[in-house]
Structure 1
Amino acid sequence: MGLLNLLTSDPTAFVIIALALVLSLAVHEFAHAFVADRLGDPTPRRYGRVTVNPLKHLDPFGTLLLLLAGFGFAKPVPINPNNLGRWGTLWVSAAGPISNLLIALVSAGLLAALPHTDLVLRVLLTVLSVNIVLAVFNLIPIPLLDGSRILGALVPSLGRSLAQFEAMPFSFLIVMAFIFLAQGPIGQLIAQVQRFVLGLVF
């Protein structure tokens, strides 16, 4: 279900979720760019991506998908693996999901430690849930997601095959179709992780 449905049914939830998604996606992409920049790849800085400004990271079509279909994407950070090497590429790929895990941990800590109003509780739970979704989803080892690039760095022969697939015409549409068809199992996996984390907090 897309976010637009919340505009009439629960406008407050729409604003909270939209802001949490925009900021969390921006931090995710910034983390990729920052680590690549620190490891010696000037490509992200050349494209103006070493910033938390959401306008530099949001993809118009990916944002539209998010609003209409309930899942979407930001603009991938351009990197040059030749400047990073195998392990540098792995750390750059892992930086995005790690940033979301850190945000989720901070949110969980605030939920557990601080008194809060209903609105603050709602905001923190939303930020926690959104970042668990982003972290778990991006760690799935399918092409175009961070998980596939981490796997490719660990198994170079597989990484070359994945890179060849991503370079194929229509690879993006194939992956989007797969995600759409597999959204049930993917959603169940993410829900299980969310329940586990919330169980630790409450």
Structure 2
Amino acid sequence: MELNTIQMVAVWALPVLFAITAHEAAHAYAAKKLGDPTAFMLGRMTFNPLKHIDPVGTILLPLICVLLPGGFLFGYAKPVPVDFSRLKNPKRDMRWVAVAGPLANFVMAFFWALMFSFSTSSLNGSSFQLPLALMSQAGIQINVVLMVLNLLPIPPLDGGRIAVSLLPHQQANMLSKVEPYGFFILIGLLVTGLLGTILAPLMAMVMRVIQIVL
């Protein structure tokens, strides 16, 4: 089904906002549980999207990606501030704070999969069936993309932080030095099309897991 611009925005807006919000709120929650209340004190441990929105990364960039033919969906929110020195065990707990975001996206993807199943099984013939089905498909896609993307071992992505926490000190220190250039590496992969090539099989694997669970 071909959607016009307004329909595309209507279908994707809520899934994108909730995906990014859940991701950042999960980081804040994990950090607080493990000893660092910084994000909590700044009001970031919340499902209020306004607390997490970055005008460019959360609104403009995903909008451009959705409207471009065949564009790869991409976006980001304001990073949740974490003072790793305040964690109970900084090197170990860093990985749990990092993994909380992708895990939240997996849960959200599963939720949207349930909504899609509900729309096709219980709303047959209803005027809500198609909008909910399309929004659910968008929700599954954006959450799977965010989950897999953030698990790439490139600092400052969550996968980079996980890798730093698992590697021996010398290798971890070397990888952490990549962080100032991580965003540029990501943009380079996106522009060259390599990002989609890397993520596609990983996304397919996550989708199969969701289908098996359902």
TM > 0.5 fold call: yes
Which stretch of structure 1 is more off in the superposition, 171-180 or 18-27? 171-180
TM-score norm. by structure 2 comes to: 0.78
Amino acid at match of 2:93: G
1:131-153 superposed Cα distances (whole Å, 9 cap, x missing partner):
11111111111222111111111
1:38 aligns to 2:33 (yes or no): yes
1:50 aligns to 2:45 (yes or no): yes
Stretches of structure 1 that go unaligned for 5 or more consecutive residues are: 1-5
Residue in 2 aligned with 1:159?
Answer: 172
Residue in 2 aligned with 1:73?
Answer: 76
Q: Which runs of 4+ in 1 moved over 3 A?
A: 109-114, 197-202
Residue in 2 aligned with 1:28?
Answer: 23
1:185 aligns to 2:197 (yes or no): yes
- Summarize the Cα distance change of 1:159–1:124 in structure 2 as closer, same or farther, 3 Å threshold: same
Which of 101, 104, 107 does residue 102 from structure 1 map onto? 107
1:86 aligns to 2:91 (yes or no): yes
- Summarize the Cα distance change of 1:159–1:201 in structure 2 as closer, same or farther, 3 Å threshold: same
- Summarize the Cα distance change of 1:32–1:195 in structure 2 as closer, same or farther, 3 Å threshold: closer
User: Is contact 1:35–1:92 with CA below 8 Å preserved after alignment?
Assistant: yes
Residue in 1 aligned with 2:184?
Answer: 173
- Summarize the Cα distance change of 1:197–1:124 in structure 2 as closer, same or farther, 3 Å threshold: farther
Residue in 1 aligned with 2:14?
Answer: 19
1:139-178 superposed Cα distances (whole Å, 9 cap, x missing partner):
1112221111111111143332232221x4x553343223
- Summarize the Cα distance change of 1:9–1:198 in structure 2 as closer, same or farther, 3 Å threshold: farther
User: Is contact 1:33–1:49 with CA below 8 Å preserved after alignment?
Assistant: yes
Aligned mates of 2:155, 2:149 — CA distance in 1: 12
Percentage identity across paired residues of the two chains: 35
Residue in 2 aligned with 1:115?
Answer: 122
What is the CA distance between 1:46 and its match in structure 2?
Answer: 3.2
Superposition RMSD on alpha carbons, in Å? 2.5
2:122 is paired with a residue of what secondary structure? coil
Aligned mates of 1:178, 1:144 — CA distance in 2: 15
- Summarize the Cα distance change of 1:112–1:60 in structure 2 as closer, same or farther, 3 Å threshold: closer
Stretches of structure 2 that go unaligned for 5 or more consecutive residues are: 66-72, 124-128
What number of residue pairs does the alignment pair up?
194
Aligned mates of 1:26, 1:41 — CA distance in 2: 19
TM-score norm. by structure 1 comes to: 0.82
Aligned mates of 2:52, 2:10 — CA distance in 1: 19
